[in-house]
Chains A and B, each alone.
Chain A
């Protein structure tokens, strides 16, 4: 398949070439953070609170320090005073510096089960582990706030006495657990509901889940004699983490270098630092490199899962399906410190899918005695979509309208004012819905006993800044350095963009992910922004490289640069093509000579946001005796814009859908009074090979009008539709409406029993 953009035919862009870094990923040579061991490395282990909320009255590490091999113990007392309580040290994972510090290492109080209270550095991991049990901590248990709705009640214990509710109205007066209240309103809601022929009103619950990356967080921190700190770690956001560590340790940012190693999955969960802070304190204290590798239990307990939520949706519609009023309320758990990233805003913007006569949205972020929560692939949006897309399905059922027709009727159009007051960019929503309706995934006859469900997700992407640069070598090959960590294929995609622009082969250019000393500031690998924003930076870097090359060619050929043309690795004078110099000869003659290096620098930021849209169709069978749901067929439609590497895009669509199906059916945190009881892969049930069908990934839509390449973000949107798509399919198969995710066998069975009981009485 050849891709074109504005009539230009691409040779490399649009090809599903294999990953440029794949050999080291299949032969075990790729270096992930836990694989690095520097000379003289000590091993760090973290002692964690068994209580979800407790005062720390005393910590005595004397016995641990006597154990041979133990080099240091740190506690919250080793933290320097917080000089700058910066409002947002997280970037996308917005959090105030003081709260971030409080989450990463407890001082006077343990705020959640698993909260770090001390850390040990020892000569072997085994000794460090042994030493943890020798640290004496005296706790005084405090009342536990373990439920978001309880936390909002006026008589709930308050976790942070200084916390006030932030809203447009200003800060609230009294102490509270409600950190944020977002309101959006349009039209006359009461009248909208009065005008409706039918009103659907429902509550939904979504459990807390984990991103589930297979690689646990790991880091090595080393401080040299002049006080320069280097942090080798598994991160999605090297530059943001540099800022965080420098702020929390009161160091100049010039003395902190983050070297991102290969990352074994992140999905939002590896955006902020986690083990890096206690490890840095150990490195400062011992003067030796310290390496900390988290266990799977620690990953579940204390790295930052995705928020659980409560939501309420009320839709009023005319008999023909036209929505007259739409009201939604969401409560999201930000865990023990305020700041659940952009979840509420994401959910709000997601509501821009449909025109509603009148609209009211209330979003709350609430603190509880649980781990701080973090983004997980389209942060908050699966929680958002589960409510509205289930309610839309129920409305369609009640009105006897095809659920796709109901959505087509109410679909927003390009340029409509969104729920946040901005203008909706091009989405192709209506055309996509019509395409899905005609596709066999929706239109083909359904086998008996099966149910089919559809759901939609939409978000806006492309924020933040990215940097990249390209240098020319004397043999006509090139090196590309990017500031974006490669989660799954970034290097390859970026090489495709650079090679296409420079008119060379993929094999003529090598790419590396820079550390924070060797490339310009680049925001995190989050928000589906890499191909769109970093891609734009790489494009600029390549164009600038080519411009410099033409300038050098002009000097050689003694003409003005504007007279130079470039094709098939040859620079030539436009009106006299015999006057020419090859790319390799030009590089050989010029690079490292008097004229200096050829370096094309590219930066992109402040770009117009671009939409991404996904429509999923799930097909299920439900075992009515056990409540078990079998996903027998799954089709993901998505608009990727111009797909630089269609194979990688498919991979993103399939992976996101699989995670969403996992959340829809099996995944969730189980709690006992604030204590997490399923912190392992056996009891926290992620999808295995046996749980999923092949996932059909179908591209729809047009290249984006926004951005220089026509690409759209692709990574995140595919986790949004699965929860409601599966719920709607269960409803179609059984007549039972699920309002709590995950829709486990137990929950489905109990809903079936209630349904049957209800109908027989």
Chain B
């Protein structure tokens, strides 16, 4: 057995200190050690984006990131978006615009969308396509996801204005 090491990080606003195997990826730490299974594994080598989370506000592929790199950092996963039962506008928009079918790629896409709209509050269709191109979806053909992102952008702007 590999020696476990202590890792101190913040996950969805809560400080955590856990013992992890240094070979574990952030994805494995989230899913296997913290039982946060909302973040999905689709390929384990950074090709599909299903494992996307935000680290200190920046989108990261958790399957390509070692857990030990998270020391002192703040991780946001799909479980941390809603406030109680109030969904984040991006989550709401994916429901209303039918931007999901099987729902497996959805957590990663939602995290990528949150990151996109933080940087570009009112993206064009091309900007959406470019910024979400790292997330694969096999069910939708992307059409309704793009509409979801456009709708989320509107909702977020209304919240802010």
Contacts and interface: CB of A to CB of B under 8 A. Distances in A.
Interface string A610-645: 000000000000000000000000000000000000
B34 interface: no
A563 interface: no
Given A27-B81, A689-B135, A18 B95 contact: yes
Interface in A682-707: 682, 686-690, 692, 694-695
A567 interface: no
A25 B108 CA distance: 11
B158 interface: no
A26 B100 contact: yes
B43 A680 contact: yes
Given A214-B48, A296-B45, A687-B142, 14 more contacts: A26-B107, A27-B91, A28-B37, A31-B37, A69-B1, A126-B23, A213-B102, A214-B137, A263-B102, A267-B138, A488-B139, A651-B140, A658-B142, A686-B136
Interface string A1-33: 000000000000000101100110111111110
B42 A214 contact: yes
B138 A265 contact: yes
Central interface residue in B39, B104, B129, B140, by most chain A CB within 10 Å: B104
17 contacts: A22-B94, A22-B95, A25-B103, A25-B106, A28-B37, A32-B40, A68-B1, A214-B48, A296-B45, A489-B101, A651-B101, A654-B141, A655-B141, A682-B47, A689-B133, A689-B145, A695-B141
Contact of A657 (B101, B129, B138, B141): B141
B102 A487 contact: yes
B82 interface: yes
A654 B140 contact: yes
A215 interface: yes
A264 B102 contact: yes
Interface in A713-730: none
B34 to A, nearest CB: 12
Interface string B105-132: 1110010000000000000010011101
Contacts of A23: 87, 91, 95
Interface residues of A, number: 58
Q: Which 10 pairs between the two chains have the least Cβ-Cβ distance?
A: A28-B38, A264-B104, A658-B141, A25-B103, A681-B47, A488-B101, A35-B37, A654-B141, A28-B78, A26-B91
Contacts of A214: 40, 42, 48, 50, 102, 104-105, 136-138
B77 interface: yes
Contacts of B78: 26-28
A294 to B, nearest CB: 10
A215 B101 contact: no
B61 to A, nearest CB: 12
Interface of B: 1-2, 21, 23, 31-32, 36-45, 47-48, 50, 77-79, 81-82, 87, 91-92, 94-96, 98, 100-107, 110, 125, 128-130, 132-146
Nearest to A28: B38
A375 interface: no
A651 B144 contact: yes
B104 A215 contact: yes
A34 B41 contact: yes
Contacts of B23: 126
A436 B125 CA distance: 27
Contacts of A689: 128-130, 132-133, 135, 142, 145-146
Contacts of A324: none
Interface in A520-579: none
Central interface residue in B31, B39, B47, by most chain A CB within 10 Å: B47
Interface in A37-59: 37
A648 interface: yes
Contacts of B104: 32, 213-215, 262, 264-265
Interface in A96-121: none
A131 B134 CA distance: 33
Contact of B136 (A295, A489, A688): A688
B144 A262 contact: no
A216 interface: yes
A659 B137 CA distance: 10
Chain B contact residues, majority secondary structure: loop
Given A27-B91, A126-B21, A651 B98 contact: yes
Nearest to A658: B141
Contacts of B21: 124, 126
Contacts of B1: 68-69, 127
Central interface residue in A28, A216, A680, A690, by most chain B CB within 10 Å: A28
B43 A26 contact: no
Contacts of B81: 27
A695 B143 contact: yes
Interface of A: 16, 18-19, 22-23, 25-32, 34-35, 37, 68-69, 124, 126-127, 211-216, 262-265, 267, 293, 295-296, 487-489, 647-648, 650-651, 654-655, 657-659, 680-682, 686-690, 692, 694-695
Contacts of A127: 1
A680 B102 contact: no
A514 B77 CA distance: 30
A80 to B, nearest CB: 33
B138 A659 contact: yes
A32 B104 CA distance: 8
Contact of A30 (B2, B103, B146): B103
Given A25-B100, A28-B79, A487-B102, A680 B140 contact: no
Nearest to B105: A214
Central interface residue in B77, B101, B146, by most chain A CB within 10 Å: B101
B139 A651 contact: yes
Contacts of A26: 78, 87, 91-92, 94-95, 100, 103, 106-107, 110
A382 to B, nearest CB: 15
Contact of B38 (A19, A29, A267): A29
Nearest to B38: A28
Contacts of A262: 102-104
A30 B39 CA distance: 11
Contacts of B101: 265, 487-489, 651, 655
A704 B135 CA distance: 38
Contacts of B50: 214
Nearest to B141: A658
A488 B145 CA distance: 15
Given A215-B102, A651-B140, A28 B36 contact: yes
Contacts of A126: 2, 21, 23
